[in-house]
Amino acid sequence: MGPAPAYLARLRELHRELGIPVDYATTRRLPLHEEAATEKLVEIGRNPDGRVLELLPPACAAWRRLRDEAASDGIELIAVSAFRSVARQTEIIRRKLDDGKAIAEILRYVAAPGFSEHHTGRAIDIGCPGFTDLEENFETTPAFAWLQRRAGRHGFSLSYPRGSETGIGYEPWHWLWRPELGS
């Protein structure tokens, strides 16, 4: 069972309005993601800007285990972004377009609506003190080194490593909970 026709039609219209190429999914090799049902999401806290962050319950439990294990090793992990609706993804892209950025440049780091792992309620952007701006320099932190060694034990994997075939730029902060990976 795939996405509902109404969801697909909504995405097509949003992509047209935003100027996203019709071959985006094919050229980027990105899977389509349905939005998690908001009534199934649970709050995991607030990000540094005060925005409430949510994940699906099993992803939330895995995040808490990951964060707590890091803390026991002296590493503070900070959730910066989690579930993101199609509407929020669209808002982010529109804001960048309004700032004068070209759609090709925007799509280098922001997935088109319908293609963001954040829609699933299983993706989380992680930072640490002094590194919550979601920039590549996060890779220089002990927190990132810790995540590389330990995140997989909790079911998290780095979605966009250097040279990702998706065309999405390197995002050392973006981790997806994959239930088949963790404990």
* DSSP assigned state of 173: T
Largest CA distance in the chain: 48
Instruction: Report yes or no on 183 lying in a domain.
Output: no
Q: What is the pLDDT of residue 94?
A: 98
Q: Are 41 and 121 in contact (CB under 8 A)?
A: yes
Q: Average the pLDDT over 40-63 and give the result.
A: 97
CATH of the domain at 45: 3.30.1380.10
SS3 29: coil
Instruction: Report yes or no on 25 lying in a domain.
Output: yes
Cα–Cα distance for residue pair 171/136, rounded to 1 Å? 6
Stretch (H or E) spanning 45? strand 42-46
pLDDT at 34 over 60: yes
Instruction: Report yes or no on 157 lying in a domain.
Output: yes
Instruction: Report yes or no on 182 lying in a domain.
Output: no
Cα–Cα distance for residue pair 121/158, rounded to 1 Å? 16
Q: What is the pLDDT of residue 1?
A: 67
How confident is residue 2, by pLDDT bands cut at 50, 70 and 90?
confident
Instruction: Report yes or no on 82 lying in a domain.
Output: yes
* 4: its two tokens: 């509902």
Count: domains in the chain: 1
Instruction: Report yes or no on 139 lying in a domain.
Output: yes
Tens-place pLDDT, residues 102-120: 999 999 999 999 999 999 9
Q: What is the pLDDT of residue 179?
A: 85
Structural domain harbouring 88: 5-177
pLDDT at 81 over 90: yes
Instruction: Report yes or no on 126 lying in a domain.
Output: yes
Question: Which range (52-56, 64-68, 94-98, 162-166) has the least confidence?
Answer: 162-166
pLDDT at 124 over 60: yes
* 147: its two tokens: 């995540």
Q: What is the pLDDT of residue 167?
A: 85
Q: What is the pLDDT of residue 183?
A: 54
Cα–Cα distance for residue pair 183/80, rounded to 1 Å? 24
Instruction: Report yes or no on 112 lying in a domain.
Output: yes
